[in-house]
Structure 1
Amino acid sequence: MADNSSLVVGGFSLRQINDRVIIVQILVMIFLCINLLLIITFFKKECFYTTARYILFAVTLLSDSLLLFMSDILFIFAYFHFTLQVWLCINISAVVLLYVTVTPVTLTAMTLERYVAICMPLRHGELSSTRSTMHRILIIHGLSSVPCIVVLLPFFASAPFSFYKHYRICSVEMFILYRWQDHIRSAVHQFYFLMMCFIIVFSYVKIMKVAKAASGDDKKSTRKGLRTVVLHGFQLLLCLMQLWGPFIETAVLQMNFRLFINVRFFNYIMFNLAPRCLSPLIYGLRDETFFHVLKNDIFCGLFKRYI
């Protein structure tokens, strides 16, 4: 959360703040429990951790869970006005900055995987091997680290060593020392936004062409892949809207402070928490194989408990 998250405490009554904090904690706990259940299911069957799309799905679950946990810590710290030493805040913020980007980049990789599976089936086995998927995960984290480096590198070059021992309310915006840093961060985010949108649209159009030419079982499989790409696109849009949140909030803050508080909370719920609940829907529930194993685990667990 930003430095001005601490101002939220002064902008609302205690009752209102408590209601909002409770809502966030309930949502975070629900999403973390669901993600944990899906991660456990992922390791139950060998076909899951040897198949590209399931491995990438697990990456999104792990990155979403870590991001939910870390961002919730920052949310609570800002609410209670807890301060941290700057060096510790850097470590927490680096994780948040990295995994804010990992999920949309992974979703883009999953979309490309569906494109290859449907439009280039002869190459799908080669490109989706476990080894290739591991390399892809390294590339995903490498690409996702660029916005983090853009924010932190100028800070390391500019901040005096003594500053790292100071206590501050932890926020990513604390590392933006110059206006040009904000412009560079904005340019990088916009570039990522455009590239990911282009990949989603490109994959959708190509799969649409295959869907029109397919027949029978192939058409059914292609349409399912097409729906998956659409859901990925919607989830990716929500994730990418989070990158635009700071710019929207800055513009609103100049007009009305109370409106800014409401917009900030709305952005956190809609573009931080909500996209993290869509991964279980897209793969955990829509995928027949995964859902079958998940259902068996749940019902067998309940059956054993009451025997």
Structure 2
Amino acid sequence: MTNNSSVGGAYLQRQINGQVIIVQLLVVIFLYINLLLIVTFFSKDFFYTTMRYILFAVTLLSDSLILIISDIMLILSYFRFTMQISMCVIMSIVVILYTFVTPVTLTAMTLERFVAICMPLRHAELCSTRSALQCILIIHGLSSIPCIFIHSFFFASATHSFYTHVKICSVEIFILRSWHGHVRSAISQFYFLIMCITIVFSYVKIMKVAKAASGENKKSTWKGLRTVVLHGFQLLLCLIQLWRPLIESAVLQIDLILFINIRYFTYITFYLAPRCLSPLIYGLRDEMFFHALKYYALCGLYKKHSSDLSCLTN
């Protein structure tokens, strides 16, 4: 029994070490890509005066922030570092808020494509720079609702002495009652439903326009339709992560090693993966952004489309 436990413990520790190293490499790669895209975004007036690029930048900043904080929490948890609950509250507020900011922003980006394709005459009016700033405020307002609910229940249930406790920081420590978890799950599923309906609605409407369009309009419409599909896939990955606590808590009752492997898999698949699809969708598929990105990625050595870059202001 003792020998088996020692072997199992050594195997578990070795697995965790390998997983942590892989996660750190992925986080560094994704943060570097996001930083390069953010620099590219601020390099031309055209990008930060166009709504779809502004929303794209919001997802980049949101993803970068949540990658940094979630990775810090992962490292602290791995090395069993503890902190006061009051400090953990601040970190959890940021994590919960920006966990929702990305999928809500993706939904807004889908609606922007819907307006551009299905309501082209009103696109300039509805998707102006001023509207984009108002949209960002609405996005953060909608994303803060789950955070307000979760922490309101926690503040109402926790005693004053609880804030002075020292624990390993995790969002789960704020679920003090079983019904707290049920409410969190209900809110997440409600958001999931609304966003899925929005994606499907936009897809159907754009599909109708695509079938009726011709020539260049048809090509542009089908490109927009593919973008909506990719947004839908990315949104699906982002929203599945909202079910992580339910899946992981059920697996934890079965086996510890299986729980760690599942948590590692879900973190990579539903937390890191969606945050590398944004560069794929807008950083590579968008022709103007791609040329600008390639120019700055190669430190100005890319000259083939330099004339295109100088024309991005219109």
Distance of 2:173 and 2:293 partners within structure 1: 42
In structure 2, the gaps of 5 or more residues are 1-7, 304-314
One-letter amino acid of the counterpart of residue 36, structure 1: L
Distance 1:63 1:11 in 2: 37
- The one-letter code of the counterpart of 1:229 is V
Residue 154 of structure 1: how far off its partner (Å)? 1.1
| 1:295-306 map, 5 Å | 295-301=294-300
**Structure 2 matches for 1:95-244, cutoff 5 A?**
95-244=94-243
TM-score by length of 1: 0.93
For 1:270 and 1:258, the matched residues in 2 are separated by: 18
Q: Output the aligned Cα RMSD.
A: 1.5
- Secondary structure of the corresponding residue to residue 240 of structure 1: helix
Any conservation in 2 of the 1:63–1:99 contact (CA below 8 Å)?
A: yes
Give distance in 2, aligned partners of 1:297 and 1:70.
Answer: 27
Conserved? CA contact 1:86–1:165, under 8 Å: yes
SS of equivalent residue, structure 1 residue 49: helix
Output the TM-score relative to the length of structure 2.
0.91
Match of 1:15 in 2: 14
- Aligned match of 1:78: 77
Within 5 Å, which residues of 2 pair with 1:84-95?
A: 84-95=83-94
| SS of residue matched to 1:261 | helix
5+ residue gaps, structure 1 = 1-8
Alignment partner of 2:48: what SS? coil
Displacement of 1:256 = 2.6
How many Å apart are 1:10 and its aligned residue? 6.0
**Partner amino acid for 2:232?**
G
Q: Is the 8 A contact 2:36 2:297 kept in 1?
A: no
1:4 corresponds in structure 2 to none
Instruction: Give me the whole-angstrom Cα distance separating, in 2, the residues matched to 1:61 and 1:95.
Output: 15
Query: How far apart are the structure 2 equivalents of 1:35 and 1:251?
Result: 34
Distance 1:255 1:112, change over 3 A: same
Contact 1:11 1:258 in 2 (8 A): no
Runs of 4 or more consecutive aligned structure 1 residues displaced over 3 Å after TM superposition: 9-13, 300-304
Give the match for residue 26 of structure 1: 25
1:250-269 counterparts in 2 under 5 A? Answer: 250-269=249-268
The alignment-based identity, stated in percent, is 71
**Does the aligned pair in 1 maintain the 2:206–2:225 contact within 8 Å?**
yes
Deviates more, 1:256-265 or 1:171-180: 256-265
Residues 48 and 303 of structure 1: CA distance in aligned 2, closer, same or farther (over 3 Å): closer
